[in-house]
């Protein structure tokens, strides 16, 4: 699968999953716009802007900030063909009745508002060209309520509902919108935090990136609106760091 001549924008690009997704699209021929709130983390991860690679710092919770970054990407690369909404965040919490308003807001902002603000900046250009692919990242854990994870689960469930709504709204304009729902991503951080956990059902970031490559292709229109649960390392051939 090649993406020669395509431009892919990846949010949360300094994180482990963001790095895997950016590397996959770049290796497949795409120019990549790597967006993260932390400019230093971007530089540490990638070094600097280079051929077919543009690094941009932006706060996805700030509409003006991400709009400015998207405009800079368009001025440099002409357009955005593929949007990968990887940025997000996780916090476990207390029971629902003890969860503070600040946690509800933080989880919703990091996981859902970030998607809304980014698509607001990117989608008009895709509609104008009548083509584009959007891939959102939710979580398998959001498919069912979990104890002490309500704020996170609700926010990630919102990402699935946003995916479905956008898919219906944008299909007439030639756009595909899909969503992946990984289980716990196999990262050094997660392995350190849960040293005794069974990692066989954790999701390797490189494998997630491969699925997202397909969802960034023209063939993904047949799956428009899908939310795909991703779980397990399969035969153990894929290993790596994650989000």
Active-site positions read: 152
CA atoms within 13 A on the CB side of 215: 27
Question: Are 80 and 133 contacting, i.e. CB atoms less than 8 angstroms apart?
Answer: no
Rounded to whole angstroms, how far apart are CA atoms 147 and 156?
15
Report d(CA 74, CA 80) in Å as an integer.
Answer: 7
Q: Are 10 and 86 in contact (CB under 8 A)?
A: yes
Residue bearing tokens 């250009």: 125
Nearest to 89 by CA among 138, 135, 44: 138
For residue 65, the tally of other CB atoms under 10 A from its CB is 18
C-alpha distance from residue 204 to each of 14, 48, 89, 90, 126 (Å): 17, 26, 18, 18, 30
> For the chain, how far is it from start to end, CA to CA, in angstroms?
24
**Closest C-alpha to 31, from 11, 57, 10:** 10
Minimal CA–CA distance to 122: which of 110, 111, 134?
134
Angstrom distance (rounded) from CA 179 to CA 159: 8
């Amino acid at each position: 699968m090649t993406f020669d001549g395509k431009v892919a924008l990846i949010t949360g690009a300094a994180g482990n999953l963001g790095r895997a997704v950016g590397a996959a699209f770049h290796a497949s021929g795409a120019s990549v716009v790597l967006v993260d709130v932390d400019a230093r983390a971007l530089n540490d991860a990638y070094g600097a802007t280079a051929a077919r690679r543009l690094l941009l710092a932006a706060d996805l919770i700030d509409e003006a900030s991400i709009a400015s970054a998207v405009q800079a990407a368009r001025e440099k690369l002409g357009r955005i063909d593929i949007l990968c909404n990887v940025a997000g965040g996780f916090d476990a919490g207390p029971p629902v009745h003890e969860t503070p308003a600040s946690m509800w807001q933080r989880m919703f902002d990091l996981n859902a508002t970030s998607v809304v603000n980014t698509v607001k900046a990117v989608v008009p250009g895709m509609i104008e060209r009548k083509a584009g692919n959007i891939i959102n990242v939710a979580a398998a854990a959001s498919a069912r309520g979990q104890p002490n994870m309500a704020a996170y689960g609700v926010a990630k469930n919102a990402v699935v509902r946003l995916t479905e709504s956008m898919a219906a709204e944008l299909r007439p304009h030639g756009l595909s919108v899909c969503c992946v729902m990984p289980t716990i991503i196999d990262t050094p951080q997660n392995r350190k935090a849960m040293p005794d956990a069974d990692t066989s059902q954790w999701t390797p970031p490189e494998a997630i990136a491969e699925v997202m490559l397909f969802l960034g292709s023209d063939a993904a229109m047949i799956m428009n609106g899908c939310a795909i649960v991703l779980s397990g390392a399969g035969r153990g051939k894929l290993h790596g760091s994650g989000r």
